[in-house]
Amino acid sequence: MWSSRRSARPSALAPPRIEGSPVSLTLTVLGCSGSYAAPGNPCTGYLVRSEGAAVVLDCGPGTLGPLQEAIDLNEVTAIVTTHCHPDHWLELPVIRNVFIWFVPRSNVPVYGTAETRAMDQAITVMRSGKTDPLAWTVIDPASELTVGDQRWSFALTDHPVETLAARVDAGGRSLAFSSDTGPGWDFRTLGEGIHVAVCDASHGCEREGEGIPHMSAREAARAASVAGADRLLLTHLAPGCDPDAQLAEASEAFDGDVAVARPGLVLTV
């Protein structure tokens, strides 16, 4: 799974753990296709799990099915959306419908930008006598959240709309997610001590300099490297983008272990 200029040992899959100790933080990839769904790969969505919380991080079209394969919907603690582009949040109205009619829930926290909330509310029509099961809170780059044992912080990325990179800390481990960003951003905005950086790598290096508001795999590697991240997970590859080529590009610019996201991947941070 992981590629590294230092080592390709299987032990690079996860940090050393004391035998019998609980897994403190995991990331499940629900979908990771860039900008639009690829066959067998929904748009962006992840499940961030720890001992005390299970948080959906972005919920692009098609991610509800994989979410149900990963967890009982009654166990979802909260939903965090990073920006208003539809490939990152448009499953939210479907989730709302499920929580009203099929898996009754109430006051499920949803966090996202003001633009995302406005778009969600614009297409939400509540039937008379029904209460919205989703409880919205608008967040911005200065926001800090505590969800169970998870601590969340955010930073503004290099993208045409307000887009929030996110950092999650739990159990002494740290996961950082770039969301969508161009090359004018890096993981230093989320602080030091990042164990796993999950980064936008939408295109190959041959398209660098075209003004695309996303990163190449090489740019993603540099964004993680300057922040001293231990490991790098490339994500948001556009359909048709060669994952092996992306892995090779990133591995040349990042000294740690590198992998490419795929649906169903469960990563121990």
Q: Determine the Cα–Cα distance for residues 48 and 150; give it in Å rounded to an integer.
A: 9
Confidence at residue 23, expressed as pLDDT on a 0 to 100 scale: 63
The model's pLDDT over 243-269, given as tens digits with 9 standing for 90+, comes to 999 999 999 999 999 999 999 999 999
Confidence at residue 241, expressed as pLDDT on a 0 to 100 scale: 93
CATH topology of domain 25-268: Metallo-beta-lactamase; Chain A (3.60.15)
Confidence grade of residue 125 (pLDDT, cut at 50, 70, 90): confident
The model's pLDDT over 44-99, given as tens digits with 9 standing for 90+, comes to 999 999 999 999 999 999 999 999 999 999 999 999 999 999 999 999 999 999 99
Confidence at residue 22, expressed as pLDDT on a 0 to 100 scale: 47
Q: Going along 104-230, which residue ranges are E strands?
A: 108-112, 134-138, 144-147, 150-156, 164-170, 173-177, 196-200
Confidence at residue 139, expressed as pLDDT on a 0 to 100 scale: 99
The model's pLDDT over 156-175, given as tens digits with 9 standing for 90+, comes to 999 999 999 999 999 999 99
Element (H, E) at 26: strand 25-31
Q: Determine the Cα–Cα distance for residues 157 and 174; give it in Å rounded to an integer.
A: 19
Confidence grade of residue 10 (pLDDT, cut at 50, 70, 90): very low
Contacts of 124 (CB under 8 A, 6+ apart): 93, 96, 132
Confidence at residue 9, expressed as pLDDT on a 0 to 100 scale: 29
Confidence grade of residue 127 (pLDDT, cut at 50, 70, 90): confident
CB 170 within 8 A of CB 149: yes
- Cα diameter, the chain: 61
The model's pLDDT over 179-230, given as tens digits with 9 standing for 90+, comes to 999 999 999 999 999 999 999 998 877 676 777 789 999 999 999 999 999 9
Torsion angle, CA of 186/190/194/198, rounded to 10 degrees?
Answer: -60
